[in-house]
């Protein structure tokens, strides 16, 4: 009987466990144990019901175009529970000189694909609009070295595009800064477009033409979630795993490799395994591997993380009627606010709030403001309330508030991240049976974490000679 340990019971570790469970049920001579420090599984996926509203503490949905989270939901019997975002009302605003300005139609991330709405938009100055026109003639460029998203975007569209769009969009997804994040790791498609076409605008139009009719027919929503929230996915996976494999409240303190196998120590107990999947933040994996391979530990420690705070606020029907339409707004750094973004949940996922409630979800923290995590809840709520008053003139007191802190939870793919991953992969070759999963490596969103968990399971199975029947491909 071969044994695999999984450290970390967030969505990455749960996905790994589910992949192993399928293999076990298919007859593999396999046993596994999942170790989680917290009393509950799911990591940052937490959903609460408050005053009739479905409140998401961490992620609220995932990108539909990345299939792995939807596929997993179907596999655990939640196919009929998948819900799309209400894209008929999909408007996003950027706070610009104190006013909310709609992101113009046809802007793909920061690439204009429709000329008229972009040229008429007050979001950009004439100077930026001229630069957008010049961008059309940008020559192809195969860069030798990685660079920051900020410098890449600035070369194409100028500094205003970095401030108004690239930076706020990235702080929404990564809690990071365009001036720190790697273009090759975070926007690989754009780096390829530049190498082939030069102009991102021309590349985007060429891609659309290639997709042709298919892109018009596909009316898939941008975001997908679950009717009862992200926690529903966690609960469904956990219910399909044997209770004997689940060890909550069990932080792993040591990982050692005495005689070719792996000894995992948690609490007062130690146990032996043939392989280990580390589905924890890279800095935690670094701690556990520091006695086994300090070179690998140093590389893992080099992956930075930022923290974030989500603040959910519920309001009554009068407030709901007074709020702007759309999914919410992003706040550029130049606006001098502490809030990074706000989602109008009752518009994005209408079933999450009764008709007589408005539900707002605000983000603070990120690379811009790590210290906010230390502030008490009341102070964070007061600050968000004050800024909502300034931005959308919301003065009413909320009916309820919920503050959630996520310390060092968002990995930052800095310049040179892909090269670091190559070094990590080659160092891992000497550690037979160790596989890494989680948001620190090849994608931060829930779907990528699901993929990373199932791929780590396949790697662990390969390492212990149980690869038969493992049909999924593993990305190198």
Ligand X SMILES: Cc1cc2nc3c(=O)[nH]c(=O)nc-3n(C[C@H](O)[C@H](O)[C@H](O)COP(=O)(O)OP(=O)(O)OC[C@H]3O[C@@H](n4cnc5c(N)ncnc54)[C@H](O)[C@@H]3O)c2cc1C
What is the binding site for ligand X (CB under 6 A)?
7-13, 35-38, 43-45, 58-62, 251-252, 279-280, 284, 308, 310, 406, 409-410, 438-439, 444-446, 449
CB closer to ligand X out of 150 and 444:
444
CB closer to ligand X out of 335 and 448:
448
For the bound state, the minimum distance from the C-beta of residue 337 to ligand X, rounded and expressed in Å, comes to: 18
CB closer to ligand X out of 157 and 406:
406
For the bound state, the minimum distance from the C-beta of residue 152 to ligand X, rounded and expressed in Å, comes to: 23
CB closer to ligand X out of 200 and 286:
286
CB closer to ligand X out of 72 and 449:
449
Retrieve residue 458's tokens. 């396949």
For the bound state, the minimum distance from the C-beta of residue 61 to ligand X, rounded and expressed in Å, comes to: 5
CB closer to ligand X out of 44 and 342:
44
Report the alpha-carbon distance of residue 428 to residue 437 in Å, rounded: 13
For the bound state, the minimum distance from the C-beta of residue 33 to ligand X, rounded and expressed in Å, comes to: 11
For the bound state, the minimum distance from the C-beta of residue 68 to ligand X, rounded and expressed in Å, comes to: 10
Report the alpha-carbon distance of residue 442 to residue 472 in Å, rounded: 17
For the bound state, the minimum distance from the C-beta of residue 379 to ligand X, rounded and expressed in Å, comes to: 19
CB closer to ligand X out of 183 and 345:
345
For the bound state, the minimum distance from the C-beta of residue 111 to ligand X, rounded and expressed in Å, comes to: 22
For the bound state, the minimum distance from the C-beta of residue 264 to ligand X, rounded and expressed in Å, comes to: 9
CB closer to ligand X out of 154 and 228:
228
For the bound state, the minimum distance from the C-beta of residue 236 to ligand X, rounded and expressed in Å, comes to: 16
CB closer to ligand X out of 358 and 362:
362
């Amino acid at each position: 009987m071969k044994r695999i340990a999984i450290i970390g019971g967030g969505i990455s570790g749960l996905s790994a466990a589910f992949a192993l469970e399928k293999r076990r049920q298919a007859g593999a001579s396999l046993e596994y144990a999942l170790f989680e420090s917290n009393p509950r599984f799911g990591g940052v996926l937490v959903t609460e019901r408050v005053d009739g509203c479905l409140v998401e503490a961490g992620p609220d949905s995932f990108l539909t175009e990345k299939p792995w989270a939807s596929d997993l939901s179907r596999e655990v019997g939640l196919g009929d529970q998948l819900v799309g975002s209400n894209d008929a009302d999909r408007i996003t605003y950027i706070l610009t000189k104190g006013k909310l300005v709609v992101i113009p139609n046809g802007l793909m991330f920061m690439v204009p694909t429709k000329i008229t709405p972009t040229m008429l938009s007050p979001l950009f100055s004439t100077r930026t609009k001229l630069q957008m026109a010049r961008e059309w003639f940008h020559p192809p460029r195969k860069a030798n070295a990685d660079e920051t998203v900020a410098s890449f975007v600035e070369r194409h569209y100028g500094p205003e595009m970095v401030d108004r769009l690239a930076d706020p969009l990235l702080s929404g997804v990564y809690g990071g800064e365009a001036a720190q994040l790697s273009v090759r790791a975070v926007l690989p498609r754009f780096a390829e477009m530049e190498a082939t076409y030069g102009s991102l605008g021309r590349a985007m139009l060429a891609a659309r033409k290639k997709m042709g009719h298919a892109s018009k027919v596909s009316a898939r929503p941008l975001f997908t979630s679950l009717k009862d929230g992200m926690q529903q996915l966690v609960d469904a996976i956990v219910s399909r795993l044997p209770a004997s494999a689940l060890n909550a409240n069990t932080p792993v303190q040591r990982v050692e490799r005495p005689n070719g196998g792996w000894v995992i120590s948690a609490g007062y107990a130690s146990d032996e395994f043939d392989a280990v999947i580390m589905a924890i933040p890279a800095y935690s994996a670094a701690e556990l591997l520091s006695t086994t391979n300090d070179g690998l530990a140093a590389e893992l420690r080099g992956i930075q993380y930022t923290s974030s705070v989500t603040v959910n606020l519920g309001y009554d029907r009068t407030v709901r009627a007074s709020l702007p339409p759309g999914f919410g707004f992003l706040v550029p750094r130049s606006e001098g606010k502490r809030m990074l973004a706000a989602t109008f949940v009752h518009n994005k996922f209408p079933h999450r709030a009764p008709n007589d409630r408005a539900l707002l979800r605000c983000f603070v923290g990120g690379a811009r403001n790590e210290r906010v995590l230390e502030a008490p809840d009341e102070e964070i709520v007061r600050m968000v309330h004050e800024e909502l008053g300034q931005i959308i003139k919301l003065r009413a007191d909320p009916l309820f508030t919920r503050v959630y802190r996520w310390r060092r939870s968002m990995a930052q793919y800095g310049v040179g991240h892909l090269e670091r991953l190559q070094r990590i992969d080659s160092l891992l070759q000497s550690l037979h049976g160790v596989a890494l999963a989680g948001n620190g490596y090849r994608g931060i969103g829930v779907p990528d974490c699901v993929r990373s968990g199932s791929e780590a399971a396949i790697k662990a199975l390969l390492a212990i000679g149980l690869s038969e029947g493992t049909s999924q491909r593993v990305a190198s």
